[in-house]
Amino acid sequence: MPRTLGFVTQSGVFGATIYLQATEKGVGFSSFVSVGNEADLEFADFVSHLLDDDEAMVIGGYLEGARDGAKLRAAAERALRIGKPLLIMKVGRTNAGSRAASSHTGSLAGDDQVYDAFFRQMGIVRIESLNELTSFVTLFRGGRRPAGRNVAVLSGSGGAGVVIADKCESLGLKLPELQGETRRRLEDYLPAFASARNPVDLTAQAETDPYLAGKCLAALGADENIHTIIINVFLTDAVAPAVTRDIIDFYRSTDKVVAMVSWVAYGSRLVPSYLGMIREAGIPVLPDGLEAARAVAALTWYQEKRAKVETVGTYVSAGPAAAPELGPPGAMTEYQAKRLLAAYGIPVTREGMAATADEAVELARRIGYPVALKVQSPGIAHKTEAGGVKLSLTGEDQVRRAWEEIMANAAGTAPEADIHGVLVQEMVSGGVEVIVGMTRDPVFGPVLMFGLGGVFVEALGDVSFRIPPLSSVDVEEMIREIKGHRVLQGIRGQAPVDVAALSAVLLKA
């Protein structure tokens, strides 16, 4: 049994269960580590150690919570660069699970959204079950890597083919409709009532024609638009010899990724030995079609992450030559916050602070009408509710009157607040409002958030996260990850958002 898996677990008993079940499935371990209470060395230390284990092609893990996010990031980045996949079962998704994880190991389960983002950013495959781990290892150790997302499914059952196709597409894979020479050849081989579109349905004809599967595989293998083939056949004693030989011959003739799923006829004496021959030929044999789809999707995603990380580096924003004076610690006003953003090269609106109505009028003249006026006080978080916002002002009289009303409203609603003045700001119309925010996670430190702004962020929660420092690929993925991405591309006649400018802001944040 190949010892291709290194494994680190924060649960001794559950880890032992994984060890026994994986071994039964034909997955051997190069190393198996139970970290105990991590009094000294922790999960990330052992992951880092296994990166130097030449036998371990894949590293798996059971994680309740990381103690040092930076250390885990360093290990994950190195794993991605050297091509050693990291698959982690991270528990504590729910409040109940998080509480249980904390009481079990004393580790901080952390915000699951942040862990999810961290895994995607670092190329870590997040798994939910042991089958996902063993199926991925089985496919990965076959040595072949998909050149793209296009999958063909060859199935002895129409229903099973549909199930596999649904799972593939739900996981981001593509099943292109077969055309041209491929379609012509398949229609020549298959009975008239069979489907040659993708998935390809062999029908019951495969039980009377032992060479049908091999001929269809040859047609799919010659199609340059197909990157991976999932074979789902029903082997009986009558057809197993010819089908096995054809599958092995086909595998040796192609460099495409092939995943084999076999239904063994009940009571068969011969089929298990033929499956053994298929495995010995190096063909990955997986337990069922859904596991095959998950393994292919995970491997394809991992390969895409590897290809991207090899071509880009992270961007570290240079600090400003001179940071603005922000006053004592505490909440900042909009004006203070924008001065800080501007110091880091992030574009902001044209604006200025007015301590008097005359100053407000002069600032409006310089900026150009229309303008907006907003009260500036760290003690007034919701300016609109305090009557501290006036919009679309188009003349001197409106500006003067607005300044006076804002100051009076602020004094009336928040008499104890420290009023810094009134912000005079250019009015910006059109475009798409987005939100860029930052929070501090107890495990990973600063975390950047992006999403559609305004009411959408509160109503829909459609946001994405990444942990700085970021690469251009991280930023691109952040933007594409939100469900409202199509809005940014321009819909119903609206102009698309300047994604390059948006990306620049995210990189500097």
Q: Write down which residue in 408, 426, 444 finishes a domain.
A: 426
Domain with residue 342: its CATH number is: 3.30.1490.20
User: Length of the chain, please?
Assistant: 509
Closest CA to 223 of 123, 150, 310, 133: 150
| The pairing of beta strand 445-452 with beta strand 434-441 | antiparallel
Domain with residue 488: its CATH number is: 3.30.470.20
Alpha-carbon gap, residue 186 to 165, rounded angstroms: 18
Same domain membership, residue 216 and residue 288: yes
pLDDT tens string 109-137: 458 999 999 999 999 999 999 999 999 99
Residue 445 — φ and ψ, nearest 5°?
80, -145
pLDDT higher than 50, residue 97: no
* 320 prior amide bond cis, ω within 30: no
What is the model's pLDDT at position 234? 83
The three-class DSSP label of residue 331 is coil
pLDDT higher than 60, residue 34: yes
Identify whether 482 is part of a domain: yes
Same domain membership, residue 299 and residue 162: yes
Identify the H or E element spanning 89.
strand 86-90
Identify whether 170 is part of a domain: yes
Residues near 215 by beta carbon (within 8 Å), at least 6 away in sequence = 185, 189
Alpha-carbon gap, residue 103 to 105, rounded angstroms: 6
Model pTM score: 0.87
Give me the mean pLDDT over the 247-251 stretch.
98
Structure tokens at 366: 């310089």
Same domain membership, residue 340 and residue 297: no
Same domain membership, residue 36 and residue 94: yes
Give me the mean pLDDT over the 463-470 stretch.
94
Neighbours of 308 (CB within 10 A): 17
The three-class DSSP label of residue 286 is strand
Which amino acid is it at 248?
I
Same domain membership, residue 159 and residue 17: no
Give me the mean pLDDT over the 35-50 stretch.
95
Strands (E), 134-242: 151-155, 200-201, 228-235
> Which residues on neighbouring strands pair with residue 137, listed in sequence order?
none
User: Range of 490's domain?
Assistant: 434-508
Identify whether 252 is part of a domain: yes
Domain with residue 157: its CATH number is: 3.40.50.261
Asked if residue 18 lies in contact with residue 91, where contact means CB atoms within 8 angstroms, the answer is no
Q: What is the DSSP string of 207-235?
A: GT-TTHHHHHHHHHHT-TT--EEEEEEEE
Same domain membership, residue 281 and residue 248: yes
Give me the mean pLDDT over the 234-252 stretch.
92
How far are the Cα atoms of 179, 210, 300 from residue 176, in angstroms, in the given order?
A: 9, 27, 16
Asked if residue 64 lies in contact with residue 105, where contact means CB atoms within 8 angstroms, the answer is yes
Burial 429-446 (b: 16+ CB within 10 A, else e): eeebebebeeeebebbee
Identify whether 321 is part of a domain: no
Q: How many domains does the chain have?
A: 4
Same domain membership, residue 442 and residue 422: no
> Which residues on neighbouring strands pair with residue 46, listed in sequence order?
none
Q: Which of 89-98, 121-130, 283-292, 417-426 has the lowest mean pLDDT?
A: 89-98
Same domain membership, residue 341 and residue 268: no
Alpha-carbon gap, residue 104 to 253, rounded angstroms: 51
What is the model's pLDDT at position 317? 59
Task: Provide the angle, in degrees to the nearest 10, between the axes of the packed helices 180-189 and 212-221.
Answer: 180
Alpha-carbon gap, residue 468 to 474, rounded angstroms: 9
Alpha-carbon gap, residue 50 to 255, rounded angstroms: 29
Same domain membership, residue 370 and residue 288: no
Closest CA to 424 of 492, 326, 349: 349
Same domain membership, residue 229 and residue 296: yes
Asked if residue 107 lies in contact with residue 66, where contact means CB atoms within 8 angstroms, the answer is yes
Identify whether 490 is part of a domain: yes
- pLDDT category at 172 given cuts 50, 70, 90 is very high
Same domain membership, residue 272 and residue 180: yes
Asked if residue 45 lies in contact with residue 8, where contact means CB atoms within 8 angstroms, the answer is no
Structure tokens at 301: 């995603």
pLDDT tens string 355-400: 999 999 999 999 999 999 999 999 998 899 999 999 999 999 999 9
Q: Write down which residue in 97, 112, 140 finishes a domain.
A: 140
Identify whether 315 is part of a domain: no
pLDDT tens string 183-200: 999 999 999 999 999 999
pLDDT higher than 90, residue 155: yes
Give me the mean pLDDT over the 339-360 stretch.
94
Identify the H or E element spanning 465.
strand 463-466
Q: Write down which residue in 105, 140, 175 finishes a domain.
A: 140
Same domain membership, residue 192 and residue 164: yes
What is the model's pLDDT at position 194? 92
Identify whether 483 is part of a domain: yes
- pLDDT category at 106 given cuts 50, 70, 90 is very low
Structure tokens at 60: 């798996």
Asked if residue 318 lies in contact with residue 310, where contact means CB atoms within 8 angstroms, the answer is no
What is the model's pLDDT at position 487? 83
pLDDT tens string 262-293: 766 555 666 778 889 999 999 999 999 999 99
Closest CA to 221 of 193, 246, 204: 246
Asked if residue 214 lies in contact with residue 247, where contact means CB atoms within 8 angstroms, the answer is yes
Closest CA to 36 of 106, 93, 97: 106
Identify whether 351 is part of a domain: yes
Residues near 168 by beta carbon (within 8 Å), at least 6 away in sequence = 151, 153, 174, 175, 230, 293, 296, 297
